[in-house]
């Protein structure tokens, strides 16, 4: 199996747990944030919903220049988050499958205001900035849900609220 197919299989598998988290977001609390420096739960949900598609699209470029207004929008509704999540894996798959063998094994560069932030192998970009970044924010969501006293869904095993093994 080629590495792109492995990433796609991982994204598809992980989307199940991601959807459980996004569905648990309380629709009436989208503006809630645990700290003034933290994203709102709505923004965090939208970020989690869009990471695979958006960042895999970034991976198709040899150089990505961050725009001045780069950030996560505040969603107007929970449905907006769930719709974005429904679209993200097809977007990610299309982007990843568009990569040529030379691109897959080549480097990827991120820039801001013309300055190079990083140049890394594209496969490392996909692993770290798509997958690990996604999982990191899903962990944040688990904490947000706990702080709101929302039953925390299972990701890889039991939580204090859900035991998929029973």
Longest Cα–Cα distance of the chain, Å, equals 54
State the architecture of 3-67+76-147 in CATH terms: Up-down Bundle (1.20)
Question: What is the predicted pLDDT for the residue at 53?
Answer: 96
Query: Is this structure's pTM higher than 0.85?
Result: yes
CB 96 within 8 A of CB 56: yes
Question: What is the predicted pLDDT for the residue at 2?
Answer: 84
Beta bridge partners of 110: 64, 118
Question: What is the predicted pLDDT for the residue at 114?
Answer: 92
pLDDT tens profile 110-147: 999 999 999 999 999 999 999 999 999 999 999 999 99
* Cα angle 104-106-109, degrees, rounded to a multiple of 5: 110
Pairing of strands 115-121, 63-66: unpaired
Question: What is the predicted pLDDT for the residue at 3?
Answer: 87
Say how far apart CA 23 and CA 125 lie, in whole Å. 28
Question: What is the predicted pLDDT for the residue at 64?
Answer: 95
The stretches in the chain having pLDDT less than 70 are none
CB 81 within 8 A of CB 45: yes
Reduced 3-state DSSP string for the chain: CCHHHHHHHHHHHHHHHHHHHHHHCCHHHCCCCCCCCCCCHHHHHHHHHHHHHHHHHHHCCCEEEECCCCCCCCCCCHHHHHHHHHHHHHHHHHHHHCCCHHHHHCEEEEEECCEEEEEEEHHHHHHHHHHHHHHHHHHHHHHHHHHCCCCCCCCCCCCCCCCCCC
Which residue's entry shows tokens 């107007």?
A: 76
**What is the residue extent of each domain of the chain?**
3-67+76-147
Say how far apart CA 85 and CA 51 lie, in whole Å. 9
Question: What is the predicted pLDDT for the residue at 151?
Answer: 96
């Amino acid at each position: 199996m080629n590495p792109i197919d492995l990433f796609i299989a991982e994204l598809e598998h992980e989307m199940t747990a991601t959807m459980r988290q996004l569905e648990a977001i309380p629709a009436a609390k989208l503006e809630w944030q645990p700290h003034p420096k933290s994203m709102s739960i709505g923004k965090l949900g939208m970020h989690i919903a869009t990471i695979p598609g958006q960042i895999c699209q970034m991976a198709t470029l040899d150089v990505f220049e961050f725009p001045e207004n780069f950030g996560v929008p505040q969603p107007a509704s929970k449905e907006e988050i769930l719709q974005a999540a429904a679209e993200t894996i097809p977007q990610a798959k299309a982007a990843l499958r568009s990569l040529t063998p030379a691109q897959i094994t080549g480097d990827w560069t991120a820039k801001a205001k013309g300055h190079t932030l990083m140049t890394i192998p594209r496969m490392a970009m996909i692993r770290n900035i798509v997958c690990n970044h996604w999982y990191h924010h899903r962990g944040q969501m688990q904490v947000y849900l706990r702080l709101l006293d929302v039953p925390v869904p299972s990701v890889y095993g039991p939580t204090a609220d859900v035991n998929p093994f029973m």
